[in-house]
Structure 1
Amino acid sequence: MSNAIKKTIELNAPISRVWRALTDHEEFGAWFRVRLDNPFKVGEVSTGQVTYPGYEHLVWRALVHRMDQESLFTFSWNPYDSNDNIELDKETTLVEFHLQATANGTVLTVTESGFDALTDPRRLEAFRENSKGWEEQMKNITAYVNA
């Protein structure tokens, strides 16, 4: 098993549009299907409720690490944990959104790493579920920014 999930897609949208879809908490919530309580801020925990059908029992808690204008957005989270007392200092993975402008729009690369820090048997399940999840989320952001 790999320690990271990596998905890359080219979007037919300018980098500023993709950046806004990633870092504006309301826009992020619209395509990611999560109702976030507050805007993303570096060094702060983002909270909310997942609204994705079948996953509404999950809470959202992520610690925002970086927001480098129109290039990199990162946060750590505890994959698929439904407990609203999630500890963000252990058993977390790092999610990175890298943006690169192209002649036709924007290349978006999403990498989630750190699965080796998770304990068994959660590690394999989290990796498998999040691999499927990022495939779906890449479709969601594509539809969202191209609407």
Structure 2
Amino acid sequence: MESNRIERRIELKAPVSRVWRALTDHRAFGQWFKVKLEDPFVPGRVSRGQITYPGYEHITWEARIEKMEPERLFSFSWPHVQSFEKSDKPADYSNAPQTLVEFRLEPIPDGTLLLLTESGFDSIPAGWRPEAFRRNDGGWTEQMKNIESYVTQNP
């Protein structure tokens, strides 16, 4: 089993332009990803928001937008913390290890092939790397279903 990289691929019955909007419009992204983002995505800037997924509402979502190549590639890097336990202090992601998330879009006859890759798990300390990988591996399985539902229901 590859423990440094998560890969998912899904064929979406929606045009590339629709999938691109679902990924890169911060409000649309927030709906299917379940996060209330403060501002639009801008390459080189950090995006923040509040997770809205039940049970995780106490977590602040944060990612640095890396690339936005229209209708082709959207990527961000995001921090990994060891625990998602509730705390009185806001999360400090400044020294947290990062992974890179890339969404690649390819037109196919029936819509769009969406390729997701998250890499860089080897930057996470060995003692909690397996748990971080497990969480995100399962999370991406669910998020692929979420974006599929979103683009199907929001033409």
TM-score tier (shorter): over 0.9
Partner of 1:86: 93
Provide the residue aligned with 1:17 in structure 2.
Answer: 18
| Match of residue 28 from structure 1 | 29
Larger radius of gyration: 2
Percent identity over the alignment? 53
Gaps in structure 1 of 5+ consecutive residues: none
Distance (whole Å) between structure 2 residues aligned to residue 61 and residue 35 of structure 1: 11
Q: Which amino acid aligns with 1:97?
A: F
Contact kept? 2:80, 2:124, Cα under 8 Å: no
* Partner in structure 2 of residue 146 of structure 1: 152
**Aligned to 2:42, what secondary structure does the other structure show?**
coil
Are residues 1:112 and 2:135 paired? no
* Post-superposition offset of 1:90: 4.7
- Give 3-state SS (helix, strand or coil) of 1:146's partner: helix
What aligned pairs does 1:1-147 form with structure 2 within 5 A after superposition? 1-79=2-80, 82=84, 84-87=91-94, 90-147=96-153
Structure 1: 4+ residue segments shifted above 4 A: 80-83
Distance in 1 separating the partners of 2:126 and 2:20: 35
Structure 1 residue matching 2:48: 3-state secondary structure: strand
Aligned residues: 146
TM-score normalised to structure 2 length? 0.90
Structure 1 length-normalised TM = 0.95
Matched residue SS, 1:55: coil
Contact 2:80 2:96 in 1 (8 A): no
CA RMSD of aligned residues (A): 1.3
Shift of 1:26: 0.1
Answer yes or no: is the 8 Å Cα contact 2:74–2:104 preserved in 1: yes
